[in-house]
Amino acid sequence: MKRYWLFLLLALSLLLNAGVLAGAWYQASRAEGAIEFALFGMGHERVPDYLKLDRTQRERWHAMEQDFVKSLNDAGRAIHAHRERLVREIFSAQPDEPVIERERAAIFALQQAQQRSVIAQLLKEREMLSAEQRAALADLLLKQDPQNATGAYQSGHAD
């Protein structure tokens, strides 16, 4: 019985970590613009104005954004589905450890992919920005609440 409680505490800890990240995305998906607000402190449509992008930069910015946002939203939906299965399995009559581990691993892999995607997107954006604009974007990202930005980075979009 002692092993069961230890396992349950571990599972709940993992669930809490995954839940915070998935929950941030889920809430943002229900309230359009919340991810951008968490990440930038403003809607993403205002970021080009804040950075003072010229017309060519704006066109590139918006073109890069389309596939990126779709990819993050798709991953966010997948994370939510795995999280739901994880919660249901943990609280089922007979929790199945391999199923719980499989769902946890799937969530982790999707979150890692999202982080890589955000970093790749920021690197692309970096290349099109002047030094002053890069500094402004970095400052905008750094001054956000770390709790909100962490969730947004893992499940939101940064354009």
Helix then strand then coil, in percent of the chain rounded to 5, is: 85, 0, 15
Domain count, the chain: 1
How would residue 31 be classed by pLDDT, with cut points 50, 70 and 90?
very low
DSSP letters for 11-62: HHHHHHHHHHHHHHHHHHHHSTTHHHHHHHSS-GGGHHHHHT--HHHHHHHH
User: Angle, to 10 degrees, between the axis of helix 146-155 and the axis of helix 55-90?
Assistant: 90
pLDDT band at residue 55, thresholds of 50, 70 and 90? Answer: very high
Task: Give the rounded distance of the alpha carbon of 97 from its chain centre.
Answer: 26
Task: Using alpha carbons, list the distances in angstroms from residue 104 to 17, 32, 44, 71, 141.
Answer: 10, 27, 30, 20, 28
Neighbours of 152 (CB within 10 A): 27
Whole-structure pTM over 0.85, yes or no? no
Question: Given a cut of 60, is residue 17 above it in pLDDT?
Answer: no
Tokens 């910015």 belong to residue? 61
Report residue 20 as tokens: 């915070």
Question: Amino acid identity, residue 147?
Answer: Q
**pLDDT per residue over 91-101, tens digit each?**
999 999 999 99
Kindly report, residue by residue over 60-94, the tens digit of the pLDDT: 988 888 888 888 888 889 999 999 999 999 999 99
User: Which residue range is the domain that position 68 belongs to?
Assistant: 2-155
